[in-house]
Amino acid sequence: MAKWLTTALPSEGPIGEAWILSDRDDYPSRVTAGPLKGCTIAQLIDRSPKPFLGKLAQRFHRFPLLLKFLDVHEMLSVQVHPPDSRVDLIPKGETGKTEAWVILEAELGSRVYAGLKPGVSAEDLQAISKLTVNRCLASFSPQRGQGVLIEAGVVHTLGDGVVVFEVQENSDVTFRLYDWDHIDSKTGQQRPLQIEEALACVDLTLCPVAVGALQNETMPPVTNELLFNDPHFRLWRLQGAAPFVVGAPDEPRVLVCVEGTGNVEFDGADFILEKGVVVLLPAVLGRCRFRPDTSVTLFEIAGPECA
């Protein structure tokens, strides 16, 4: 995890998750420099909703996405997230949760489980165990650079030595079906499961998840791969060594640097972007110029498209 971040990790205990852009009360991201230093995203939206969110201001009162790095040494719990339509299962103030991963690192034994094998029933999932997980869930060995979209309602897990970048709806609602008999070091007990709620969310008709880019475009001076085009978010992987355009009119965009360094140029000023740095471009900025120092790889993330 440490090599993907610009801030030091806490010294105590293993760190498996870093929220790198968060508009949540329990862990708000803050402006790092300039006259608004220290302000949270929520405060910026409250002061200037339209300049910040653009056309998204009609639908959202907080930033609709949560961005993370995950460093998963052991398998995460077998879990599922509710769709936005299941308001009966979503706590007040939350939403459903569709998410997606870009694989950054993977060891030889790493595994991603995503989706059900044909014929799996709710009864099979209710009794899932170490002996049956491979009979119930589709899986694959992840490779660096792959994109994996996990729609709400898809049963999933990953681990055994994999690092991913995650984009998701701004929600923290997860229901566990099975937790590999892990013992919580803080309580000495197995973590609670939410089997009834999880089964209520599972879409038994969804096929195993496919991986890869939806669209590849080489438009000098940048290679542009559309990895995810979901109703909740879009993500492009941009690679190049010469200046190229980032941002879009009337909508916020987020830039995450995962390789190389460069500068975002706006209104005569430069804003440094290096590995692990996150830059949120408010909607009012529109298009900006990105100037790489050397070959660079960026993720550019947009929220939902608005009609």
Give the model confidence (pLDDT) of 280-289 as tens digits.
999 999 999 9
Tell me whether domains 2-23+63-201 and 215-302 share a fold. yes
Copy the structure tokens of residue 169: 């709806």
Please state the domain extents for the chain. Answer: 2-23+63-201, 215-302
Distance CA 158, CA 164 (A): 10
Chain center to CA of 126: 27
Domain 2-23+63-201 is in which class? Answer: mainly beta
The answer to whether residues 150 and 99 touch, using CB atoms and an 8 Å cutoff, is: yes
CATH topology of domain 215-302: Jelly Rolls (2.60.120)
Residues 110-149: tens digit of each pLDDT:
999 999 999 999 999 999 999 999 999 999 999 999 999 9
Closest-CA residue to 153 (of 98, 88, 229, 193):
98
What distance separates the 2 farthest-apart alpha carbons in the chain? 61
Q: Flag whether pLDDT at 29 surpasses 90.
A: yes
- Which pLDDT does position 218 carry in this prediction? 73
- One-letter amino acid of 207: C
Distance CA 250, CA 246 (A): 13
Q: What is the pTM of this model?
A: 0.94
Distance CA 229, CA 216 (A): 13
